[in-house]
Amino acid sequence: MFEWFWYGKIRNLILAGFLVLAMVPSLVAVAVGYRFAVQGFARLPVEILWGHYETVNITRASAISGFVAAVLVIAASLPLAVIIARKLTHPLELLSEGADRIARGDYGITFNLRSNLEIEALAENFNKMSLKLKEERENLFRQVALLEEQKREISVQKEELARVNSRLELLSITDPLTGAYNRRYIISQLEQELAVAARHGLPLSLIMIDIDHFKKVNDTHGHQVGDEVLKDVVKVLSGCIRTADVLGRYGGEEFVVIAPFTGFQEALVLAERLRDTVSRWPFETTYGFLKLTISLGVTTFNGKEEHYHNSLIDRLLARADEEMYKAKAQGRNLVSPSFLGTV
């Protein structure tokens, strides 16, 4: 950017220079006329004594005439000097205004100035600078727009990646057929809940569930109907458990409910609610409605263990499975309640 701060001083110097150049001849004439006029008056008594009075009058008149002429020349030269100076400074004023407009963001302005070579060269460089700034600004805007577009694309890709990761994580912990948690997740969650229960001395109950005569459903209506039944059973069980409870498919037609902070009696109430709801539910299939029942085994960790250990999981699962088979052996559609089920 030009040092426009010095523009005013340069303009004033140019104006003063032209005024001086225009006034030099006049100032010389004034000085000469003044000299003759003063000298003429000073020599007047002497000239009179010597009898040259007429000559003195002529000399003095000439001096006065020259002085007056010089003053008139000065008066006539002033407008001319101003016009010449204005012709030189006006292009500089235009360039100064242009620089102010560029500073305010009005890029791309140009001037077609007709002046001396120096001013025209200055205007040409100014135009190049202005057009270059406009081009750079447009390039910058294009780059910003491109970056914004790339930012949006990255944001969309991140969202899509997050959805894919969430989906993959869900697939890794859920059963693909029923949507319930899979066996691996159930074991992992049971480990965590047992560790919390052992640390704080809190109870935890486990309910093992098996669909009665499920093999008969497959043999009679086919595996497609059997799959429909499994999915519907999960929906019914999910509607009966509490928010803190965890439902998972343990394998085949067997399911598990982890009930944290739940004592043995509360677990029996929950198990009975599950059994009663399933026995009353009309399961709709392509062959009509089916009536199903389930057998349940309940076991509870009483929170008395001082430290959690891995064998506790095996003991808890084995006891719940044992109680479930007791219920099936006793006629099915039952909850096997036994204090022996308390670990």
Q: What is the pLDDT of residue 318?
A: 93
Superfamily of domain 183-341 in the CATH hierarchy:
Reverse transcriptase/Diguanylate cyclase domain (3.30.70.270)
Tokens of 264: 């043995």
Q: How far is CA 145 from CA 138, 140, 141, 158, in A?
A: 10, 9, 6, 20
Residue with tokens 């043999």: 219
How far apart CA 245 and CA 4 sit, in angstroms, is 78
The stretches in the chain having pLDDT less than 50 are 1-5, 7, 29-30, 32-34, 36-38, 40-50, 52-53, 56, 340-341
Query: Reduced to 3 DSSP states, what percent helix, strand and coil does the chain have, rounded to the nearest 5?
Result: 70, 10, 20
Q: Global pTM?
A: 0.60
pLDDT, tens digit, for every residue of 45-74?
Answer: 444 444 544 554 555 566 566 566 666 666
Residues 341/298, Cβ–Cβ less than 8 Å = yes
Q: What is the pLDDT of residue 108?
A: 74
Q: What is the pLDDT of residue 41?
A: 45
Q: Where in the sequence numbering do the catalytic residues fall?
A: 253
**Domain ranges in the chain?**
4-106, 183-341
Rg (CA), the chain: 55
